[in-house]
Structure 1
Amino acid sequence: MNDNIGVLGCGWLGLPLAKYFLSQGHKVYGSTTSAEKLRLLQKDGIHAYHISLSPAGIHGDIQGFLSNINILIINLPPKLRSGNQESFVEKIKLLHSEIKENTVLKIIFVSSTAVYGEVDGEVTETTVPKPSTESGRQLLECEQLFQQDNALETTIIRFGGLIGPNRHPVTMLSKRQKLTNGNHPVNLIHLDDCIHMISTLIENNYWNQVFNGVYPLHPTKKEYYSSEALKRGIPSPDYSGSSSDKFSKIVLSKNFLDKNHVFQTSILS
């Protein structure tokens, strides 16, 4: 029997993810904050809900959305940059309360390797997170909220930097000067592997676990972004700023690879 899967947050990752599960015969429910995107989701065959979260409340039919599904993928990145100080934790606490009012028991919480902070050397799922950014701190608190709820089966997946069609950091870095830490390794993952990982976790019932999602190739930032810029015919970013040898972390997807799964899409263009 196929699961009814809910994707809360049909953005750059969530929409292709929802489409993938549809193609596999699942009934898929998706949420968006955009009325325009609502129609696009419906056109794709996704049962679409107009839902937005704020620290003050959840707008939209969240109970209607949750009542249809048995697996929920929470794909809501904290938007804490550009002076936005609203609490991501408060939003997720409200969501957690709504989940408790419903019958959803299995959750995949999409997090980030930002929770590890400025760790030096190799990082695995057993490394103790020490977030150094507000985004990382709030993500870790949200992870713990779900992990400590024994009534739910929650798996955390911590993705590295996301790349894919029409999305690559080199396009933003291209014309920048005096960037630092050019000798530090990249920790990236392609959109296709994000989908591959999430679907693999669900298919194999890997619940109540933590997974890092980073492609196992870690050239230096200078080497990688210079090469990617060359392939695109755009100026290479300039890494002539001062660099630190400290906090040069390599994130390993040990849990996933130890289970004999593989990554399918290279981070090299």
Structure 2
Amino acid sequence: MTQISILGCGWLGLPLAKAVLKEGFQVKGSTTSAEKLATLEENGIQSFLLALDSNTVPDAFADFLTASETLIIAIPPKLRGKNKDYSDAHNNSFVKKIENLVPYIQKSTIQNVLFISSTAVYGEANDVIDEKTIPVPVTESGKQLLEIEQLLLANTHFKTTVLRFGGLIGEDRNPARFLAGKENVANPDAPINLIDLEDCIGIILKILATDTWNTTLNAVTPFHPSREVYYTEKAVAEKLIPPSFNHENPSTGKTILSDYLIEKLNYTFTKNPL
């Protein structure tokens, strides 16, 4: 039986941990909430309270990795909110938080790292995007995600796969509510690039089952109607007020392809965002 450590048992990490357990793996999982430790244990997940810091590494991190073959990093950068101008981006550096962990990963039993990234690394490209497209991030989180991708992929002590998810939906992330009732919304003709939680988990399980390492994969449902069509239909279906869109300016937006993932993993997406 193989053991996996999941750093970040949140919106994605907890249901992922449950799914991995069903596949016969042993699972160690981390949370930043003491109240959530019991939830992890109740689900058969060996729990660890780990809050990452830019300057130090949690004492329990080495134990969190012990005897695991694969580490899944499933924590968001959290670079928005109180420091929207990113004036505190250095002290709140997601790059530094992950960089601090690398020596511990190198000394551990970890052979494979799966880093959950985002299509935000592609920035504001107005084009069709695949994995050969050179990322040009414009947000602070996109910039730091790309730097971490490069940091992990360059390390020869373990194999890394980077998984770039599109907009996450499912569970308590109902796309009908994203833009419902909003007015003068920009980019009505821009394509959507979303992925459901169920497919997020299905893709990760497929990566584990096929030992697909040392690669980068875009993970977006191959379904790209315009923002106006999609969010209007979702709002109407949920009996919400549809958004109104601004057609005065030309729409811009990228279409992110998952063709390489579909071929590489022989994966079939199961959830259509509609």
- Which deviates more from structure 2 when the two are superposed, residues 2-11 or residues 95-104? 95-104
- 2:108 is matched with 102
- 1:265 is matched with 271
Matched, 1:140 2:146: yes
- 1:34 is matched with 33
Which residue identity is paired with 2:234? E
Shift of residue 77, structure 1, vs aligned partner: 0.9
- Which deviates more from structure 2 when the two are superposed, residues 78-87 or residues 66-75? 78-87
Distance 2:204 2:61 in 1: 23
- 2:202 is matched with 196
Note if contact 1:41-1:48 (Cα within 8 Å) is conserved in structure 2: yes
The Cα offsets for residues 199-240 of structure 1, whole Å up to 9 and x where unpaired, read as 101110111011100000001111101111111111112212
Distance 2:199 2:142 in 1: 22
Distance 2:142 2:52 in 1: 19
Q: Mark the runs of 5 or more structure 1 residues left unpaired by the alignment.
A: none
TM-score, normalisation: structure 2: 0.94
Matches within 5 A, 1:186-225: 186-225=192-231
- 1:13 is matched with 12
Q: Mark the runs of 5 or more structure 2 residues left unpaired by the alignment.
A: 84-88
Shift of residue 121, structure 1, vs aligned partner: 1.7
Matches within 5 A, 1:31-110: 31-84=30-83, 85=89, 86-110=92-116
- Secondary structure of 1:215's partner? coil
Distance 1:179 1:245 in 2: 11
Shift of residue 49, structure 1, vs aligned partner: 0.5
- Secondary structure of 1:21's partner? helix
Which residue identity is paired with 2:263? D
- Secondary structure of 1:173's partner? coil
> Kindly tell me: are residues 242 and 51 of structure 1, through their superposed partners in 2, closer, same or farther at Cα, counting changes over 3 Å?
farther
Note if contact 1:49-1:60 (Cα within 8 Å) is conserved in structure 2: no
**Which of 232, 236, 259 is the aligned partner of 1:254?**
259
- Give the ranges of 4+ consecutive aligned residues of structure 1 lying more than 3 Å apart after TM superposition: 241-246
TM-score, normalisation: structure 1: 0.95
Identity of aligned residues (%): 42
Distance 2:71 2:113 in 1: 5
